[in-house]
């Protein structure tokens, strides 16, 4: 029978535990060669993907003391579309989505939050929709979550069967792990509501989240009730 002491001896380690890289946010065990290798592989690719060099023509839709939000549209110059895709791939990877295809790629609007270190720390993809199914409240979930609850955690959310009118679907929302709980997702959504349809400010009922993750659901519940 293996216990944790046994594991430490077997791997010949002095230290055993998780390290959280302060640049890319990956959690890994520095003492495990395979983990180290995976981190090295991930680290540079990730930082390259979120690095933002600045464009001559960028569509700034909001500005804050700690960053700005730019909007990328499908017909924008190739470098802009590519950056949006790179960041979306990072987000999809974390969300466990397999491919990068969007529902209606020609109408997708990608909002990127750029921080003062010139990193893309937030990404939101919004698409026009006609109707949506409200996610029904499920009591007592996410409480005392253990690793064994993984399957439970990934089950489909229970949705209402009655479609409701909505105008804007949020198909992806992602914030860099080291930049969470700073209101970045909130500010991206506020910006979507004010810019998505020319001349009108969308209500919280007119936006809908597709397939929210547990994080996404906690955020959406908070956002929609405040
Ligand atoms: N747990 C509990 N409450 C939360 C969480 C959380 N993980 N995240 C947000 N909230 C609530 C809080 O009340 C928070 O306010 P507070 O910090 O003052 O308490 C409020 O929502 C606002 O949060 P923000 O700071 O605006 O959200 P953030 O910038 O951290 O981004 C997000 C939230 C996008 C869900 C982020 O955690 C993330 O990227 N997670 C991984 C990817 C993911 O799951 N995305 C959602 C997928 S669903 C979809 O794409 C349709
Ligand atoms: Zn790293």
State pLDDT tens for residues 119-166: 999 999 999 888 777 666 555 555 555 555 544 444 445 566 777 788
The CA 28 to ligand 2 mean position distance, Å, reads 9
183 lines ligand 1 (CB under 6 A): yes
Closest residue by CA, ligand 1 atom 10:
219
- Ligand with an atom nearest the CA of residue 35: 2
Query: 81-86: which pairs have CB atoms within 8 A and are 24 or more residues apart?
Result: 83/52, 83/112, 83/120, 84/110, 84/112, 84/123, 86/48, 86/49
Beta strands in the chain (DSSP E): 19-20, 27-28, 60-64, 67-72, 109-115, 120-128, 131-135, 159-165, 168-175, 207-209
Burial 154-168 (b: 16+ CB within 10 A, else e): eeebeeeeeeeebbb
From the CA of 211, give the closest atom in ligand 1. Answer: 51
121 lines ligand 1 (CB under 6 A): no
pLDDT tens string, the chain, 226 residues long: the values are 445 554 444 444 445 688 999 999 999 998 889 999 999 999 999 999 999 999 989 999 999 999 999 999 999 999 999 999 999 999 988 888 765 566 667 789 999 999 999 999 999 999 988 877 766 655 555 555 555 554 444 444 556 677 778 889 998 999 999 999 999 999 999 999 999 988 899 999 889 888 788 898 889 989 988 7
């Amino acid at each position: 029978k293996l216990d944790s002491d046994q594991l430490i001896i077997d791997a010949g380690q002095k230290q055993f535990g998780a390290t959280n890289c302060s640049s890319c946010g990956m959690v890994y065990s520095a003492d495990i060669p395979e983990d180290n290798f995976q981190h090295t592989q991930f680290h540079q690719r990730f930082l390259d993907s979120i690095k933002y060099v600045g464009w001559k023509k960028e569509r700034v839709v909001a500005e804050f003391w700690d960053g700005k939000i730019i909007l990328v549209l499908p017909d924008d110059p190739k470098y802009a579309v590519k950056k949006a895709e790179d960041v979306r791939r990072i987000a999809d990877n974390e969300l466990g989505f397999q491919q990068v295809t969007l529902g209606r790629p020609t109408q997708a609007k990608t909002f990127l939050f750029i921080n003062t270190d010139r990193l893309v720390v937030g990404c939101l993809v919004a698409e026009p929709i006609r109707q949506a199914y409200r996610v029904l409240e499920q009591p007592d979930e996410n409480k005392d979550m253990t690793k064994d609850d993984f399957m439970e955690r990934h089950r489909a959310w229970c949705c209402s069967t009655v479609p409701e009118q909505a105008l804007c679907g949020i198909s992806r929302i992602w914030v860099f792990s080291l930049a969470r709980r700073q209101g970045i997702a909130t500010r991206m959504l506020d910006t979507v509501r004010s810019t998505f349809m020319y001349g009108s400010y969308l209500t919280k009922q007119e936006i809908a989240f597709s397939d929210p993750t547990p994080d996404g659901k906690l955020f959406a519940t908070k956002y929609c009730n405040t």
